[in-house]
A = this chain, B = another copy of it.
Amino acid sequence: MFVEALREVVENTDGALAGLLMDFEGIPLESYVKPGASFDIEVLGAEFSVIVKSVQRTVTSLDAGGAKEVAVQADKVTTLIRVLTSDYFVAVALSPDANLGKGRYMLRVAAPKLIEELT
């Protein structure tokens, strides 16, 4: 089920390379890499779980509400992260020329389904 949801996000977003469902300890639950893309999404996810955690702490300490979404654009890859629950997040890695808006939309649509299965 999880892999189906990740596949849907990746395959319906131009330029998406991989999708990942992971807990904040950095342990992957499920991942989907676009066929042909060589990309270690699990390494990326583990690194970003640390970042999302510190973002959450910061946002909470500022009373700005919980962090819902984090996007990081680097030279070679863009990472979109959406916090699902206090334990899990979903991430998608995209090429720099990817359709970022579509990626955010697809994550937003996938989130309720993922949350339902996680809780």
Contacts and interface: CB of A to CB of B under 8 A. Distances in A.
Interface string A94-107: 00000001000000
A76 B58 contact: no
Nearest to A96: B65
A76 B68 CA distance: 10
Top-10 shortest CB links A-B: A65-B75, A69-B73, A47-B58, A71-B71, A59-B74, A64-B74, A64-B77, A65-B76, A64-B76, A65-B74
Interface string A28-60: 000000000000000110011011001100110
Interface of A: 43-44, 47-48, 50-51, 54-55, 58-59, 61-77, 101
26 contacts: A43-B62, A44-B64, A47-B61, A48-B58, A50-B58, A51-B51, A51-B54, A51-B55, A51-B58, A55-B72, A59-B72, A59-B77, A64-B74, A64-B75, A64-B77, A65-B74, A66-B74, A67-B72, A67-B73, A68-B74, A69-B71, A69-B72, A70-B72, A70-B73, A71-B72, A101-B101
